[in-house]
Homo-oligomer: A and B are copies of this chain.
Amino acid sequence: MAWTRHHILGLADWKAEEYEILLQTASSFREVLSRRTKKVPALQGQVVTNMFFEPSTRTRSSFELAAKRLSADILNFAPGTSSLTKGETILDTAKTYLAMGSDIMVIRHKEAGVPHLIAAEMDRLQTGVNVLNGGDGQHEHPSQGLLDLFTLCSLLDYENPRLELLKGKKVAIVGDILHSRVARSNIWSLRSAGAQVHLVGPPTLVPQFFAEMTVGSNGDQLFVHWQLEPALKDADFVMTLRLQKERMTNYLLPSLREYHQSYGITRDSLKLCHPHVKILHPGPVNRGVEISSDLMDDPALSLIQQQVTSGIAVRMALLYLIGTLNS
């Protein structure tokens, strides 16, 4: 099967074959990154525009470096000093970057659906421009879901990361599921792999309706918990999510300390899990809130650094796959 997808907007409709191609491509770029000269000329002369309407360090830098490794030219759009403050619409901003010659647009926006809106307009105008969702509101963050998938599969078989490795594995996702685009993208990819996904957090942040999300019949299942114990019991992987401090002021949480007491991951709570359990976190981490500080720094337990490293290879793979579609 060959790659056919033009835009990376979310993982909700990804097919197993697409995940496999992505995992293999990322794996081959990881090999490039281990060489002394870590660049390939794959996207030379192409323009990747980073349109981050919401501030971001790690995702923007990761896409920027991935694009540079592919020898693309990068334009960084800074919303603070932009035409948006002069009354221009988002679509007009996108069309301006289109007219300048952008080949790929990476878009982050605090409102869900903005990347889809731009992708639809690019298609309507038959521009051939590819759109990559760098995180949209509380909807999806597909490159994060894919880098988490690549990290897990690579841990299980470094040379040949593939979906089936996760079949039947128990993955606990802990924290503010309700507001998390990372959780949503991970739920899609993990279930496509046939994993057992257990969501856990306070009832205000993990509503029951999540249990009703389905992705076809793959042996996969989705569970909702409001207590840590059943979620962690024999878990193979624990994904912790960033807790945004503003949730407290919105009356969704009593205090960070109480949150940590009930849902923070510590060496103690890990005793419930499978002996080979590993922890993930999309970053940035509030140490001592979502996860205890010593745990985060323990390379035998934490995959956090591997996640960031995977991010470069996965984003190179995404940019490469969509950027070379028409050539």
Nearest neighbor of A99 in chain B, beta-carbon distance: B308
Known: A39-B44, A55-B81, A312-B100. A86 touches B242 (CB 8 A): yes
Determine, out of A111-119, A164-172, A267-275, A283-291, the stretch whose residues face the partner at the interface.
A283-291
Q: Are B39 and A284 in contact (CB under 8 A)?
A: no
Known: A83-B284, A86-B242, A284-B86. A100 touches B311 (CB 8 A): yes
Q: Are B283 and A101 in contact (CB under 8 A)?
A: no
Nearest neighbor of A289 in chain B, beta-carbon distance: B87
Contact indicator per residue, chain A 35-69, by CB within 8 Å of chain B (1) or not (0): 11111000011010000000111100110110011
Q: Tell me, yes or no, whether A157 is within 8 Å of chain B by CB.
A: no
Q: Are A73 and B65 in contact (CB under 8 A)?
A: yes
State the A residues within 8 Å of B (CB).
33, 35-39, 44-45, 47, 55-58, 61-62, 64-65, 68-69, 73, 75, 77-78, 80-83, 85-89, 92-93, 95-101, 242, 244-245, 283-287, 289, 305-309, 311-312, 327
In the complex, 16 of the A-B residue pairs with CB atoms within 8 angstroms, ordered by the A residue number, are: A36-B327, A37-B45, A39-B45, A55-B80, A57-B83, A58-B100, A61-B77, A61-B97, A64-B75, A65-B101, A83-B284, A88-B283, A89-B287, A93-B284, A99-B306, A100-B312
